[in-house]
Structure 1
Amino acid sequence: MNRVTLTTAIAALRQKLSEGFSAQRAPAGYQPGRTLGQLQRNLGLARFEQVSPTLARADLEDDSLHLEIRERTESQLLMHLVMTEFSLCLPASTEGAARFALHHGGAIRRTGIRCRQRSGEGALLGALQARLQQDSALQAALMLLDFKRLHIELHARQWHIRLEHMGGSEVVNRLPAFRRYIALSREQRDALLAALAGLQRVVGGL
């Protein structure tokens, strides 16, 4: 097993263990579906269906974008966070496996969008970066967007895009007791949908 394959296998195992632990140990005071319900009002989409307490599906009216939205919890000392993750699944014309992370460049001011390869086929990084740079509408949307995580993965001839926004989330504190929902603003909502549509446009061609 080469180093890249080993690194990919270890990362996958860590993710599965983390997901399994989270599923078994839900934070005290967590109310599944509460954050999704509030996010639904922020998004204002006519086609929004909550298919389980922690999973929803949403579509734009013109059928140009089909999303899955999932609640994810993160426990901290005497508190927990409930984040919402937006995901797309697209067919790939490329075989193999790869994982990329996108983030804003610049320590204080945003200076651009950086793409870092975490694992997989090295040749894909150049192709993805070129398509990202050529799509000015996507660049503009991502520069405005306050996202926490943005991962692009290739697996089993499918691209998986997962974006976690800083808004549309909830902070729940145990001591002192309080619960605060961080709303998704109108500007961020528009940038989010534009970014997801742009990522679909860019990644769907690979």
Structure 2
Amino acid sequence: MFPSLSEYWRRPPAGYRPGATLMHVQRDLRNLPGEPLDGAAMRFRSADGALDFEVREVVQAQFLMHLVRTEFVLRVPSSGAGPVRIELNHRGAIRRQGIACKVRAGDAGALASRLQDDPRLLAALMPLDFKRLRIDREGSQWVVRLEHMGASEVVNRMPAFRRYIRLTAEQRQHLLQVLRGLRELLVEY
């Protein structure tokens, strides 16, 4: 008769419109054609075919508001075997002083040092405003999940407002450079 409390918390928040944030992201990635995968995901491909990634909406409910964040997902074939998890973050509390690479699972010391030593990748990662960057080996492929600070939406119920935080041209350029750099680097592993 009454829904359980766990079912209540799994429901999407009131006011969430699946795909609305993706339409803004598609506008921000204007040079890349996008095709919808489902209500909350879209695939983007570069014209030359060198870059193919998904963008997924991730909803986080809070009291009288919710956030719709976007997660950029890149899949790259892997020649190795065994589970691996690597996380990359900016170092420095106030100013960015580098990139910290932490191996959370598996044997990936060589890959981690290569990620920290690649000058082109570091040049693109340093100015990129990302919240989370995780690299996992799942089966026979690498899965890169990058959550950008922009390309997200804040929806408040009281007072009622909806605000999209856009992906600027500079951030778009750095994001695409990071995805291309990771694709080129991970193909070797």
TM-score (norm 2): 0.92
CA deviation digits over 1:105-161, x for unaligned, max 9? Answer: 011110111111222x2x31x211222133211101000100011110012121110
SS at match of 2:81: coil
Aligned counterpart, 2:181: 198
Aligned counterpart, 1:188: 171
Q: Describe how 1:57-206 pairs up with structure 2 within 5 A.
A: 57-119=43-105, 121=106, 123-124=107-108, 126-206=109-189
Contact 1:32 1:54 in 2 (8 A): yes
With over 3 angstroms needed to count, the CA separation of the structure-2 counterparts of 1:106 and 1:42, relative to structure 1, is same
Answer yes or no: is 1:34 the counterpart of 2:20.
yes
How far is 1:21 from its partner?
6.9
Contact 1:152 1:162 in 2 (8 A): yes
With over 3 angstroms needed to count, the CA separation of the structure-2 counterparts of 1:43 and 1:22, relative to structure 1, is farther
Partner Cα separation in structure 1 for residue 119 and residue 98 of structure 2: 11
Partner Cα separation in structure 2 for residue 22 and residue 202 of structure 1: 43
Aligned counterpart, 2:3: none
Q: State how many pairs are aligned.
A: 184
* Residue type of the alignment partner of 1:117: V
TM-score (norm 1): 0.85
Partner Cα separation in structure 2 for residue 129 and residue 190 of structure 1: 24
SS at match of 2:59: strand
How far is 1:22 from its partner?
9.7
CA deviation digits over 1:76-99, x for unaligned, max 9? Answer: 111100011111111111110021
Aligned counterpart, 1:17: none
How far is 1:53 from its partner?
1.4
Alpha-carbon RMSD across the aligned residues, in angstroms, is 1.7
CA deviation digits over 1:41-97, x for unaligned, max 9? Answer: 111124211222111000111111001111110011111000111111111111100
The runs of 5 or more residues in structure 1 that have no matched partner are 1-19
With over 3 angstroms needed to count, the CA separation of the structure-2 counterparts of 1:23 and 1:186, relative to structure 1, is farther
The worse-fitting range, judged by mean Cα deviation, of 127-136 and 39-48 is: 127-136
Partner Cα separation in structure 2 for residue 161 and residue 149 of structure 1: 10
Q: Describe how 1:6-21 pairs up with structure 2 within 5 A.
A: none
* Residue type of the alignment partner of 1:184: L
- Greater share of helix: 1
With over 3 angstroms needed to count, the CA separation of the structure-2 counterparts of 1:187 and 1:22, relative to structure 1, is farther
Correspondent of 1:53 among 14, 26, 39: 39
Partner Cα separation in structure 1 for residue 170 and residue 57 of structure 2: 22
How far is 1:23 from its partner?
9.4
